[in-house]
Chains A and B, each alone.
Chain A
């Protein structure tokens, strides 16, 4: 029995303000898989994440992307989220005046409503929060603050994964989640991600470095350079890049071209 891929991107060409950034990306993510997307700065990694999440301002020139078989690019960002797509932001945004717990409950209830599940009231919600917040060793007190307000860099990243734990997405796109994290924070975040892995969901880990991939071990590694996936492989590819640098691959590609 073949299961439907969670995400299927075919020959995606996209850009911004006349500039082409993604020059024909194809990628398939099946349930239970961890895919790493690596590449040097400017390769298009964050653009890919933004386009999948539905951020405005990008124009899709050609190609398709489906999510659980549905046309992803046709959906509003909030609908994509409710369908089970989660983006852990590279730079999580602060929203002054909006209480974190209130915000999260609204988000969780939107997803539940979409799935036909009963919404949480304040009491039930807090019970779930208490249980999951331990996963990320976050202080409950943080949740009394406005969204991300006064959070340290590490706390913000941990908060992203905590939200992921609460929203239970089928596809989690982690956009440079390891940037700005010290060793301990990295470990906590990675453990959190690993604990949330299941045979029915998948993770797309976008990163420069091998570091996170030591803890969140990828099944597939794709290297993005100049808007194209120039090479795909298993986790050894990440180790090879760490050792030889992106230049090595760039030279190989130049030779091949």
Chain B
């Protein structure tokens, strides 16, 4: 992402993190999970007692739960006792120049159009004073403060705005929700907190981009966004640069709350390390994301481009509580080599005259297995609910798989639900036609795939869309021929 983008880094958080490192002993605890570990996490973060209690309640509940195995993904059993649940943020190893960086990684950066300055930042090469992110952050921070927008790390929010956290945490994803969300509730490390006051249209897109340079935010990320009546925020998560982490399991939780006439647009571009060609070492991305359209005429949109991770398991969902509220889900999920994805959405229609739109594009290549799992649920009192779902699969090659598991549950007779699904292949004939017009095989595949994903890319903030296109191209390299 270019620094000319009008996005804010959460350098607020970076300042805090630098402080964090110097204040504490830089150490990690032994792997394993028990109540002491949780007390330690909470103590290290100086959390108020309500937070510790919430964590403990979650942990105790987690002990009664069994790990779900119903998704269409297979992975070796996770040993929860071998994970380190707390480690002090380590300063990233500082390199002297890009020459010390893995050339393969640099090649990927080039293909993604990431500028040299940013490449240095991403790999921990000492950054020149000119690129000092702290000064950039200060300007943005002032702008947001003027509008009363709070955008800070979750840990900071617990400290500085405990009343907001106490009010909204778990209001969309209760601590009992599911195995991984419950675990997250017990041991979450950090994430983002965002609060938009009444009637405010957030002046810029909020982005977590610069957070990747921060010390390891950990595998159990927690994010909460609250939009007061009449407010608007567009939030960008992730980045196209391939992200590695020594921790294999990533179980994040994201909660969104939109009040009357408010709108939250949450966009994700995810390129977590997918593992090698044989699928070894990739990241397991098991995320619980849910938005609540609490107020009338509120709107929540999830847009995601998922090309990474060895296993992606997530269903960004919307609870359409408020009358006339709207939920949207636009997704492109790519599986190549040995990646697996079981992803989709849940739209729960509760209030009157609610609407939901689902557009899911799955691309399978190599030996990838891509499943769409979607649920449209119309509750008894949801008069006049309307849903439109479209899930399209594109298969590249003959070793991959695409599966669709749509669930529709309508308890109100006035509901209108439409579901369309297509499955297509990139035909050799199409590729040859492109070849005969001077277009290379890889460019032809990229063109066709981008055409396939158009409807979803259209929903992304522009710069993200351009990057997403490049990312898809890079992720599909070598998938044909």
Q: Which A positions have Cβ atoms within 8 angstroms of B?
A: 53-56, 76-78, 80-82, 86-87, 89, 92-93, 95-99, 102-104, 106-107, 110-111, 114, 146-147, 163, 167
Contact = CB atoms under 8 A, between A and B. Distances in A.
Q: Is the interface of B mostly helix, strand, loop or mixed?
A: helix
21 contacts: A53-B436, A78-B434, A78-B435, A86-B436, A93-B429, A93-B433, A95-B433, A95-B448, A96-B424, A96-B452, A97-B448, A97-B450, A98-B448, A99-B451, A103-B439, A103-B447, A106-B439, A110-B438, A110-B440, A111-B438, A146-B451
B276 interface: no
A104 B437 CA distance: 8
Interface string B337-363: 000000000000000000000000000
A76 to B, nearest CB: 7
Contacts of A163: 437
Given A93-B429, A106-B443, A114-B438, 14 more contacts: A54-B435, A54-B436, A77-B435, A86-B436, A87-B436, A89-B436, A95-B448, A97-B454, A98-B448, A98-B450, A103-B447, A107-B439, A110-B438, A147-B433
B451 A56 contact: no
A77 B432 contact: yes
Contacts of B433: 89, 92-93, 95, 147
B430 interface: yes
A159 B428 CA distance: 21
B437 A103 contact: yes
A164 to B, nearest CB: 10
Given A89-B433, A93-B429, A97-B454, A78 B447 contact: no
Interface of B: 424, 427-430, 432-441, 443, 447-448, 450-452, 454
A114 B435 CA distance: 14
Contacts of A114: 438
Contact of B438 (A56, A99, A107): A107
Contacts of A86: 436
A199 B440 CA distance: 30
Pick the most buried of B424, B436, B454: most chain A CB atoms within 10 A of its CB: B436
B430 A95 contact: yes
B451 A78 contact: no
B451 A107 contact: no
Nearest to B447: A98
Contacts of B447: 95, 98, 102-103, 106
Nearest to A173: B436
B451 A97 contact: yes
Contacts of B440: 78, 110
B436 A77 contact: yes
B377 to A, nearest CB: 31
A103 B431 CA distance: 12
B448 A81 contact: no
B451 A81 contact: no
